[in-house]
Structure formats: C-alpha cells, structure tokens
Structure 1
Amino acid sequence: MRKAREVLVIGGNRYFGKRLIARLLAAGDRVTVLNRGSSAAPPGVVHLVADRNDEKSLTAALGARTFDVVVDQVCYTPRQARIARRVFAGRTRRYVLTSTVEVYEYEDSVAPVRESDVDPLSVAVNLELPWDDPEFLENHYGEGKRQAEAVLAADPAFPYTAVRVAHVLGGDDDFTGRMAHYASRIRAGEPIAVPMVNHPATYIHVEEIADFLFWAVGQDFTGPVNAASHGLLTTEELCAEIAAHIPHGRTVFGRVEVGEVSPFAFTRAYGMDNSRATRLGFRFTHTRQWLPKAVAETLGKDGG
C-alpha cells in the first residue's frame, strides 16, 4: 500500500487546481492548501492563510511543517519565486511550479518548441521591474514565469520542476471567457479577428492537466517539462467545433495586419513538443479526442 504523502498546494482553489486537490485526496494524500483566505479551502484539507508575497507571513503560517511535495499554482514573478526558494529550501522533497507555454513568447519555430529552447539558467532575472503592478504583470505574464523558473533553477540543490502548461480548455467552470468570446461572435455572425498568418497552437484538456500535475507530484525528475495534448489546433478548427454546438451559428473571420486579435489567434508558431513527458511515462491524449467534449462542457449543450 502506498504511503500517504504530505502535499502543500499554494493557491489552486479553482479550475484545474481544485481538480488536482480532489485527485490527491482521493489517493489518500494529506493535503494542505495555502492561500490569502479570500476563498474557502475544499473539505478534507488543512487550510493555511498567508500572503505568499510576504516572507514573514508565509514562514509564520507554515510553522515547523515539512512536505513531500509543494505544488505552487500562483507563482507569477521572480520575487515570489525567490521567497518560495528561501522558505521551502529544506522543507520539501519536491517543488512543482505550474508554469506556462507563454515562456516561449520569444521563440518562433516551425517545429514544436522543446524545453531546451528556453533554458532557465540562461534567462536574465530583473527583480527591480514593477512586478507588483497588476497591469505590468498581465502584460508580462510569460516573462514573469520565465524569470520565476530562472530563480528556482539558480540553486542546483533546490529540487524543482516547472510544468509548462499548454492552453487549457474544457470544464463548465472555465473562468477565462475565451471560448465564450468565440461563441458570442459566431452566434451573432460577427467577424472573428485573426492575424493574416494565423499559426496553430498546443492545448490540453482541464482534466488532463490535473492528471498530469497529479502524476508529476509522484515523480522525481527536475527542470522544465512541457504538458500538452498531442496534436495542434488552429483557430479555425476550434471555431468549427464551437459553431457545431450553436444552432444556425455562422463563422466569419476577419484578417487583420495590425491591432488586437481574438484569443487563441497567434502571429507566430505556438506549439510545444511533449516528448520529454512522454519519455518519462505520461500518456497524453489527442486534442481531437476531447475537443467536442471540452466545447460542450464550457458552452453547454445548446451553445451556452
């Protein structure tokens, strides 16, 4: 019988984070959830309240606790990563950072990008940037994650992995509104703005990324790892599936040379190579297996 693990999840009370917590509890793990207290923790967990941006607050909330694994769902900046590295050094056997495909924002390749295309050890860290400014952080989301990874990687004794998550789809609790944006325009027959050259991207279903993170908790590999379902999706393919769920929906694309484009419309290649995770033993599904289900979940059977 497998020994129960002590797992700390920082943030993660919604979307795939709450699904990860459910999987950990179902497996018999002892789960602690740490957040600012603005939302209740799910039943069955120990709930700690602290501001993860405040090292003294975080240290006080943790007390003498140690963990087998820490899953950090809400580390967005190098400042937060520096605090986490200091606080959790010696407290955990493994630290799992949920990172993002956005770390590849400066890479543009016809071939899917591999983990080695962004080596955290080669990323410059600037702690003086206005990381506390919400607008700056929103506009530099990928860079914040790049630099957070770099801070963790700088200490070779710190046992971290950075899960670079593809664009997540599915679930009736998708809070992003991105699929709803397409549905509203298709329903109204309004143009969907895409670049003149619109590249496909990698995606993953909300249940699959929860599965992946649960799997990663039990592994011992370190460094970055890409998490994406097999198969790229174009904006056109995504919209075709959405339109199939909307009676009398009409998809119209408007090609733009400059200006804002729709969500999931990309001016550059945005695909991730998932072969490292595959070699390590995770079995991904194909986007075509779950795309109809993802659209139905998010929009409802009548196109929401």
Structure 2
Amino acid sequence: MEGRVLVMDKAREVLVIGGSRYFGKRLITRLLAAGDRVTVLNRGSSPPPPGAERLIADRDDERSLTDALGSRTFDVVVDQVCYTPRQAAVARRVFTGRTRRYVMTSTIEVYGNEDRPTPLPESALDLSKVTVDPELPWTDPEFLDSHYGEGKRQAEAVFAAAPDGLPYVTVRVAHVLGGEDDFTGRLDHYVTRVRDGEPISVPVTDRPATYIHVEEIADFMAWTAGTDFTGPVNANSHGTLTTGELCEAVAAGLPGGEVVYQTVESGEVSPFAFRRSYGMDNSRATGLGFRFGTVREWLPGVVAEAIGQDSGGR
C-alpha cells in the first residue's frame, strides 16, 4: 500500500514548532527546498534558517500561542517539541480548525520499560489504555527529563482521544545518530572510551536497539508532512545494533583503541546500553512507501565522522 502524496495547486503553508536544532533544522531546509512556505514558531532562542518566517511565542501558554498565530491557518503543522499531555491539549485546542494535518515528533520511548524481544509494531501500544494525568509536575525540568517517555506517551494519547477534529500523525523516532551538530554526546561517549581504553558500563545482558540516521529522519519527517496517512508510525532504519556491535564499529575506526566493558547489575549504564530491547518494526512506514536505509550501511560513516570531530578537538 502506497501512502498518497498530497498534491497542492499552490505552495503549502507549513508551521514548524521548535525545529531550532539537529534534525529539526534539516527538516525546515527540506521543506523550503520543496517550495513550501515555512513558518517557525519558537520562544525566540534562535533564528530559523534563511527563507523561513518566524513567530515568537511560548507554546505552553495558550494565549501567547493564539496571539502569535492570529488568524493564520496551515496545510501542515509539524510539532517538534511536544513533550507533555498539557502541551498536547493546548495544541489540540489551538490547531483544531487551523490545519489539515498535525505531525507530532514522538519517540521509541513510548513503548515503556518492559523487555519484549521482538520488534514492536505501532499496535504494541494501545493509546486508549494510557492514563493521561495533566496534574503531574510536567513543568519541572527534572521530572520531565526522567519521565520523557511517559510524557510523550500521554501526549500521543491526548491526540488519539479525538482524531476526527484534528487529523494527526505521531512519528515514533528511533535513536538518532550522525551529524556534527549532535548535541547529545552519546556516540562521543563511546569514541572517547574506546580511544582511551576506559571502561564502558553495560548491563548484564546486551540488548539490541533500532537506530536512524539524522538525515534519514529529516527525510522521513518531510515525507510524512506531504502524505495523508494518520496515526502512529515507527521511524527506524532496517536492522538493530547491540552495545557490543556499536563498540566494535567504533573500535574498527580507531586502530589501537581498546573496548573495555564494565558490567553493571543495577544503576547507571552507558548511553545506548539497554536493559531491555529497543526494537521497532517499521513495516507500516515501508508499506506506506518510505524506503529506509540499513543501519550497518551508514554506521561506519557516522562513526568516522564522530572520530574526526573528536580528533579535531584534541
């Protein structure tokens, strides 16, 4: 089944909420290159790429948001920074009737902490059974950081509760790798430790995870904005990697580097070292017409890029 591409007789009006860094910037560049008229809404922390218009508002403040938007309507809204059910509820109220399509960037983390060894399809999460609690301390940065997956899960549930009024997509993004502007430092963690022979903290059992290249997820978000399917969709490259396989790829690019593991039964482990499987099934997206790459094909280039950046900073 192919996803139907929306054909417009004029340039699309696209609003991107957030999008100031990493694959959000790449998404905006792709939309502009496609001829879309792009408006970026953020709190004014950074300017949008050249060619995009900017609106300044606090998306947590419904009055601020509606005042900034005025009477504007959009063909597509892409929300890169919806983290809580409160934000989702505000967005649903504000954008119902303002857009034909609402795309929320979600995460693999919505599938929870239970270890399920097979790649998970979108149906593995029943949003109708998710308890939405807007009274939790979602404005507390520490709470939000430690409940990232739960916040995204409840936000998805808010949109799923009333899909008729606001046609929506939630893109469940796998772990993203690549790009010199990767602000997370997660891959750098491995480059540094393998290069210096420092221990890498891992759980007792090495679980696999799915990943996606930063350019690929930007492509996927732009493609999603231009199609008409709705509901949750997994976005990940084909194949999985264990922590050991990721370390082997780093070691292959660092002659003389040493992989030293430190097993941790409980407590903090290295990034991308998981106590549960983080596998997603991308069959829905591929059936709709998107062609993903394979993680093992693009990983060596990403590792080489990270090693080069690390060497340049030493």
TM-score range relative to shorter protein: over 0.9
- Determine the structure 1 residue equivalent to 2:92: 85
Deviation by residue 1:63-114 (Cα, 9 ceiling, x = unmatched): 1100000000000000000000000000000000000000012342111111
SS of residue in 2 equivalent to 1:179: helix
- Determine the structure 2 residue equivalent to 1:287: 295
Counterparts of 1:302 and 1:128 in 2: how far apart (Å)?
Answer: 43
Equivalences for 1:119-138 in 2 at 5 Å? Answer: 119-138=126-145
Contact 1:173 1:298 in 2 (8 A): no
2:81 to 74, 86, 94: 74
SS of residue in 1 equivalent to 2:155: helix
SS of residue in 1 equivalent to 2:40: strand
2:155 to 148, 151, 154: 148
Give the letter aligned to residue 231 of structure 1. G
1:55 to 54, 62, 74: 62
Percent of pairs identical after alignment? 71
Structure 2 unmatched ranges of 5 or more: 1-6
Shift of 1:302: 6.9
- Determine the structure 1 residue equivalent to 2:118: 111
- Determine the structure 1 residue equivalent to 2:221: 213
1:160 to 161, 164, 168: 168
Matched, 1:29 2:36: yes
Matched, 1:8 2:2: no
Deviation by residue 1:271-293 (Cα, 9 ceiling, x = unmatched): 00000001111011100110011
1:226 to 234, 246, 253: 234
SS of residue in 1 equivalent to 2:94: helix
SS of residue in 1 equivalent to 2:220: helix
Contact 1:245 1:303 in 2 (8 A): no
- Determine the structure 2 residue equivalent to 1:100: 107
Shift of 1:244: 2.3
Matched, 1:183 2:199: no
Shift of 1:247: 3.8
- The size of the alignment, in residue pairs, is 304
Q: Judging changes above 3 Å, is the alpha-carbon distance between structure 1 residues 302 and 49 closer, same or farther for their aligned structure 2 residues?
A: closer
Shift of 1:298: 2.9
Shift of 1:166: 0.1
Contact 2:191 2:306 in 1 (8 A): no
**RMSD of the alignment, in Å?**
1.3
Contact 1:246 1:303 in 2 (8 A): no
- Determine the structure 2 residue equivalent to 1:262: 270
Contact 1:186 1:251 in 2 (8 A): yes
Matched, 1:241 2:249: yes
SS of residue in 2 equivalent to 1:172: coil
- Determine the structure 2 residue equivalent to 1:64: 71
Contact 1:107 1:117 in 2 (8 A): no
Contact 1:183 1:303 in 2 (8 A): no
Structure 1 unmatched ranges of 5 or more: none
- Determine the structure 2 residue equivalent to 1:200: 208
